[in-house]
Structure 1
Amino acid sequence: MLKKEDIPIYNLFINPKSLTDLKKNIWSENSVIGKINIDNKKYDIDVMFRGFYVRELNKKSYHIHFYKPKTWKGAKELHLNAEYKDHSLLRNKLSFDFFSEIGVMTPSAEHVFLVLNGKPEGVYLQLESVDEYYFKKRNIPVESIFYAIDGDANFSLISEYDNAPKKSLEMGYEIKYGMDEERLILQEFIFKVNTLLRKEFEQVIGNYIDVEKYLRWLAGVVCTQNFDGFVQNYALCRTGDSGLFEVLPWDYDGTWGRDVHGDIMEFDFVRIDGFNTLSARLLDVPSFRKLYYKILLKILQNQFTVDFMKPRIQELHTLLRPFVLKDPYKKDYIKQFDMEPEFICQYITDRNNYMKNELKKLGLN
């Protein structure tokens, strides 16, 4: 019987032959049949490895797709992230909770303990998929969902990789949900971002994207220093309520003072205005720039502080520690795990001071 201080235990079953086939071709996008037991209820699922470079690690991450029953808690699919390179196992969860606190629509995230074919696989982060079911659960109509899958999702006419004009303004995006005409709306939006003069841009851009929500998202990326989060690892969604695009964060394990490989990222590595074409255009407009710095200053005074974040960090650390000791891939690194809360708090202190000084230089606070 699980106690209140326990995290959920998920029992995943994959035929050994199917599991061997998955491991033989880790880059395959073909799923295999499996079962998962959650809260003493079994679900028939399709399962595959997920992620990019993380597929090469011993502790795999999984993409689960439900088909019998068709959904679980209103979700059609979920992601189980190994968080292997994050010494703390906290950063993704901490980031998503932080984004939610500052007013950004964010997928839910919950730590679980995964058992695969009867053997412990360790602590995982269950991430909610950003799809039509995500919006249905929140009673929000949605017209389209695009995933920013690589650096060409930079809101530019120019490719991030060869500095040449893009062959299509959809480059960098993968459509998750929406009719074909939604692609045209996305292309029109990106074209307008790059071609409108400043005055017209200020008047028109709010017809395409919720500017304040975008600036809140930008502030969140800047605070957490998700280096590649400006040009990929986000969902771009157009909701039916407003007809405007909105950005949701995704994959935030390389944050709070460390990069995606777990190495130290200095607190002043990312500038306070971030980088991508849309951010540059917005912050070039005085009214939008003032709104951004007003949002950022308020976050620096309230949520992005040690006083606000430390209790949340400590609570997560205390919750996970007994399970990290049972994690076959992480139990030998318990000292590093125990050092991370202090490391993250020091990062918050240093990063906060840095950003406040940068704001003073601009004379906008």
Structure 2
Amino acid sequence: MIMDREHLTFLERNIWHEEPISCQLVADNLSHDAGITYRGNHTRKFQKKSYKIDFGIYNEEFEAREMHLNAEFCDPSFIRNKLSFDFFKMIGSISPDCNHVLIEMNGEPAGIYLQLESVDDVFLQKRHLPYGPIYYASNRQSNFSLLTTKGEPKESLTSGYVRKLGKEEDDLDLERLIIKINSIPRNDFGEEIGEYLDVKKYLTWLCGAVCTQNYDGFIQNYALYRHGQTGLYENIPWDYDATFGRNWNGKAMKYNQVPIEGFNTLTARILDVKEFRIQYRLLLEEIVEEYFTVKKIEPMITNLYNKLRPHIAFDPYKMTDIELFEREPEFILQFILNRNHYLRDHLDELI
């Protein structure tokens, strides 16, 4: 990337600035006009920051109008986001495409980044999905509840959500979804919720979130898409670096930190319905047998590490952590083994 020194200094001094600043993105000897800002919340305070790239119009080279460059600063492996999204695809849930890239800023090494697809109208077009509203669950108020995580009434039913695609009137439909989740009588919930939510896809997403143990993934770190033809909502995973045994600060998490039932208001109400709970159990049992296993995921980890290893020394923020980087595959695989056993041992709780 190439930026005027004045623009770069401004960005460094104004980390919460949201308007794109002009830059040149150079890839394969081709230069592309773009706008750049930092992205994320607590990650903006890290030394190595993540970026949002806005081309303004559709860019054929990158097959995107905008994209994200995630620093993966707190993940010593660099691969948790990528590994998680590939796992979600494996089990049948749509998720963003992503690949690792090596970035320079004005000729100086900036390190390894994850080039991440934006969940927007282009995302839908690539997957031949009809146009429909998309919301980013941007903070912990996105818990499908009438209350905040502190138990206080929300200022708005759409608190925590940022509309990425759609119109203002779509917010009313999102409000209706949240009201229905919290007001449908218990005896009617199993039948009525299917008029608003694609339950099967939600259960698949739930399996992915529970297996990878994204602690925040139940109350943020997802996109909510309303299918343009069916009108049903479905979850799309987003920001899954705090997974596979580490939290958002890179600290180790116990393999049983997230219960087999997950958590948030919608999940609790769905699993309160015996039919849905049995569906979830059967789906999760298949996944822990066939997909969430060391045998299945170890080759994915090895492949990613073989690609990243030659470049780790060129990341100025991680070159002193190479030993930790090399130990992470064993850490991740041990987490998978422990988490797999934990989920198997608790399947009967879903009967």
What's the secondary structure of 2:155's corresponding residue? coil
What aligned pairs does 1:79-228 form with structure 2 within 5 A after superposition?
79-161=68-150, 163-228=151-216
Report the residue type matching 1:90 in the other structure.
Answer: I
State the percentage of identical aligned residues. Answer: 46
- Answering whether residue 10 of structure 2 is matched by residue 21 of structure 1, we say yes
Q: Do the aligned residues in 2 keep the contact of 1:108 with 1:127 (CA within 8 Å)? A: yes
Deviation at 1:72, TM superposition (A): 4.3
Which residue number in structure 1 is paired with residue 285 of structure 2? Answer: 297
Q: Do the aligned residues in 2 keep the contact of 1:143 with 1:182 (CA within 8 Å)? A: no
Q: Do the aligned residues in 1 keep the contact of 2:277 with 2:350 (CA within 8 Å)? A: no
Deviation at 1:152, TM superposition (A): 1.0
Which residue number in structure 1 is paired with residue 343 of structure 2? Answer: 355
Distance 2:225 2:143 in 1: 15
Structure 1: segments with no counterpart, 5+ residues? 1-11
What's the secondary structure of 2:314's corresponding residue? coil
Deviation at 1:212, TM superposition (A): 0.7
Moved more, 287-296 or 234-243: 234-243
* Structure 1 length-normalised TM: 0.94
* Change in CA separation of 1:169 and 1:71 when aligned onto 2, cut-off 3 Å: farther
Deviation at 1:73, TM superposition (A): 3.6
Deviation at 1:122, TM superposition (A): 1.2
Q: Do the aligned residues in 2 keep the contact of 1:234 with 1:250 (CA within 8 Å)? A: yes
What's the CA shift string for 1:22-78, capped at 9, x where partnerless? 111112213210010122221100101111111111111110000366554431100
- Answering whether residue 267 of structure 2 is matched by residue 286 of structure 1, we say no
Deviation at 1:167, TM superposition (A): 2.6
Report the residue type matching 1:104 in the other structure.
Answer: S
Q: 1:239 aligns with which of 220, 223, 227?
A: 227
Q: Do the aligned residues in 2 keep the contact of 1:44 with 1:69 (CA within 8 Å)? A: no
- Answering whether residue 254 of structure 2 is matched by residue 266 of structure 1, we say yes
* Change in CA separation of 1:246 and 1:69 when aligned onto 2, cut-off 3 Å: closer
Which residue number in structure 2 is paired with residue 47 of structure 1? Answer: 36
* CA RMSD across the alignment: 1.3
Moved more, 349-358 or 166-175: 166-175
Report the residue type matching 1:339 in the other structure.
Answer: R
Which residue number in structure 2 is paired with residue 9 of structure 1? Answer: none
Distance 1:346 1:250 in 2: 24
Distance 1:317 1:116 in 2: 24
Structure 2: segments with no counterpart, 5+ residues? none
What's the CA shift string for 1:50-109, capped at 9, x where partnerless? 111111111111100003665544311000001011010010000000011111110101
What's the CA shift string for 1:188-239, capped at 9, x where partnerless? 1111111111221111111111101101111111111111110001000011
Deviation at 1:164, TM superposition (A): 2.1
